[in-house]
Structure 1
């Protein structure tokens, strides 16, 4: 056990800024949900519906950008600054183009809202919100390129600072524009969208300044330009990035399907689903941060060719994740009736019946979420370790099978054709995450077992 626990301090040192940075992303949504939730359950459901389209596109962009981290980490482990510079340049070009394409795709998909059996009042509120949040995908994916590069060099603090800044901007603008405070116009959900857009632009500006001001980055960002592209490097990033994007897409898409299925059940089940999903997303970011630590450390060891140490380091991160997720499971289990009250004005007499129903449904969903904390954390950390090994194709197939051949059919049947309804949807999510964690872990054991036994 000491072989693994002695790595905990460094794992935590590396992962903490990443976790805080990712929590910052989620906290933007948390602030939107809490503030918009004060307007009513229809407004909260509208933000949920609008974000469901954006989250699908965002999963592709963020998933693709993760290709930058293991390539930079491997170059850093090998002491090859020139290769690290090439990865940054080409990754930034690809992420910029992808951000623009995803923005266009969301706009083209927007009319689907009218054909999804969603409440009409929710759709009417969601459409103007979606227009602005979709545009924020462009600066968000550009920021991801900078973020993944910085993390590949084990400089995880700067993206964290960027997301802290984004949260300050978002909360201030939400306060001013959602409720019309201090003489500003009262824009409701549109005000929340403006806050998100401006916050994400702020993150890009911050990272651009940091990369040009800090000496540790200067050798990498010199001569940064869109014209200096090479097909082999573009192909290398795309071959690693698109399977990673699909992995994240398959997971996010099944949670998005849960949002849409909840909308078929009504605005209150959809609002409850949004509350449980937002809380689960916040704990998931701890697993994501440890997954980035696994990707960085495994990528470094791969660059050094030290496979026994690679396996030991990865296992130490898996063990840390298990301990942490057991704690979160206990928080959800014992706090399931209290946590949903954060999002709604319980004392509002006009919406009291709706609010109480939402809280009751959300508490049932958090009971299921308590159990899938463990599976969710383990699968994302093992996936990070596999990305560090630059193994992406088989894990992509695994995530598809787990979420869409196992999880989704169960969610669909139990949610829409049994009395379990919202709880049934989340039981399907639990099965998909559990299947994914088991299969990905077996894949990691198989690969590293071969690497350890191969001749030096």
Structure 2
């Protein structure tokens, strides 16, 4: 069942567009919540920003381990072994669920005091807690759904996770809107209603993926044995492979959370502007990230087939040209969002709208270094060079972006535009580190044994 080796940018595109739209819809959960909650005013957005920061942190952990599983599945698919595919699927699901449970216990212990410390008013603190409580159901459903999606993505069937979000997003919008405002006899839940709508949509998405995966392979329950002799041994190998990748994503999620708490120290209008623009940055940025992820899947499949020669280099050069085009499209998307902020969020105060417009010069340049860094990162991970990628992210986040954010806000009191510019600064810090490692080419020979 070994797949044909991908050779052209068409192979990347065929994987990338469903990955991109799926990722946009995943980040769109927060965008939709922000759009719907914006009718409640800046205080409602601030409450969602505080509660959502905890939710994003835990969701980032789940996505982290799922991305590691996706690479493992791609390697297994390239090798053509059902036992490897079974091992990757079930080990990945087990790790996702354990991570979700541990994360919810930790959040339950620390979230309340932190929200009270950073909330501007008692109402914001109360609404933030309610939003976070409801969003924990999203975490559980996504832990399973992301595991199912990783199996489809690693096997090159990226259309299925995309379809699951295409089904879930309209449900999310309808249920959230009705619960926020208490329409059609439903309770008026305010900010919490947005999270409940997201949970209903995630449950339906999980069921859709589970049914289709069962039809495709029956979860490989008819395949005997495990890749490394036992489930425990296979789980340990999977976890060791996944930990640096998960560490990278968890560091990113936690640093974003710390920065969000620092953003809360700005004025309500500035904090609202950051709360609104960050989901759009993630949503639009997924176009470039999706292309890089699809490239990584193809590279992992090629390396699984032991193809490491000139053909791989030609494929990567073509894929890189596509990444530049993707970055240009992302920049155009940012242009449209910033210039039409008043139409998307008609109830915003002038100060908030002015802050959003001030981000535009940064957003026009950001996609290019970010997209190229993503290409390097996903390619290096596909070759097993996961620790180095993790170290780059750790250094750029904790030695640059987080301390500089604290400096700009707490000590210098700089305008929000300068604070937002640190997202670009982080990519420029990572750029030489990623590209030097990629050009050395040692990752082609470093793929770990499945």
State TM-score, norm by structure 1: 0.89
How far did 1:140 drift?
0.7
> What residue is the counterpart of 2:258 in the other structure?
257
Describe the shift of the 1:75–1:360 C-alpha distance in structure 2 as closer, same or farther (beyond 3 A).
same
> What residue is the counterpart of 2:382 in the other structure?
388
> What residue is the counterpart of 1:206 in the other structure?
208
> What are the equivalent positions in structure 2 for 1:414-425 lying under 5 Å apart?
414-425=408-419
Give ranges in structure 2 of 5+ residues lacking alignment. 1-6
The two structures, once aligned, show a CA RMSD in angstroms of 2.4
Whether 2:403 is the aligned partner of 1:409: answer: yes
Instruction: Write the distance in 2 (CA, Å) between the matches of 1:150 and 1:305.
Output: 22
- For the residue of structure 2 that corresponds to 1:345, the secondary structure is coil
How far did 1:35 drift?
0.9
Q: 1:371 aligns with which of 365, 371, 376?
A: 365
How far did 1:440 drift?
1.8
Instruction: Write the distance in 2 (CA, Å) between the matches of 1:77 and 1:446.
Output: 24
How far did 1:335 drift?
3.8
Describe the shift of the 1:94–1:431 C-alpha distance in structure 2 as closer, same or farther (beyond 3 A).
same
Contact kept? 2:381, 2:389, Cα under 8 Å: no
Describe the shift of the 1:206–1:261 C-alpha distance in structure 2 as closer, same or farther (beyond 3 A).
same
> What residue is the counterpart of 1:145 in the other structure?
147
- For the residue of structure 2 that corresponds to 1:38, the secondary structure is helix
Contact kept? 1:415, 1:423, Cα under 8 Å: no
- For the residue of structure 1 that corresponds to 2:346, the secondary structure is coil
Contact kept? 1:118, 1:266, Cα under 8 Å: no
How far did 1:331 drift?
4.0
Whether 2:37 is the aligned partner of 1:43: answer: no
How far did 1:337 drift?
4.4
> What are the equivalent positions in structure 2 for 1:83-98 lying under 5 Å apart?
83-98=84-99
Contact kept? 1:383, 1:440, Cα under 8 Å: yes
How far did 1:13 drift?
0.9
Describe the shift of the 1:281–1:337 C-alpha distance in structure 2 as closer, same or farther (beyond 3 A).
closer
Instruction: Write the distance in 2 (CA, Å) between the matches of 1:71 and 1:114.
Output: 37
Give ranges in structure 1 of 5+ residues lacking alignment. 1-5, 347-353
What do residues 62-99 of structure 1 show as CA deviations (whole Å, max 9, x unaligned)? 11121212221112112111211111121111112212
Contact kept? 2:291, 2:326, Cα under 8 Å: no
Instruction: Write the distance in 1 (CA, Å) between the matches of 2:307 and 2:238.
Output: 24
Instruction: Write the distance in 1 (CA, Å) between the matches of 2:430 and 2:406.
Output: 18
Instruction: Write the distance in 1 (CA, Å) between the matches of 2:260 and 2:75.
Output: 38
How far did 1:279 drift?
1.2
Contact kept? 1:26, 1:281, Cα under 8 Å: yes
How far did 1:275 drift?
1.3
> What are the equivalent positions in structure 2 for 1:3-402 lying under 5 Å apart?
7-114=8-115, 116-120=117-121, 121-214=123-216, 217-218=217-218, 220-222=220-222, 230-308=231-309, 309-332=311-334, 334-335=335-336, 337-346=338-347, 355-402=349-396
Describe the shift of the 1:69–1:202 C-alpha distance in structure 2 as closer, same or farther (beyond 3 A).
same
How far did 1:155 drift?
0.8
State TM-score, norm by structure 2: 0.90
- For the residue of structure 1 that corresponds to 2:421, the secondary structure is helix
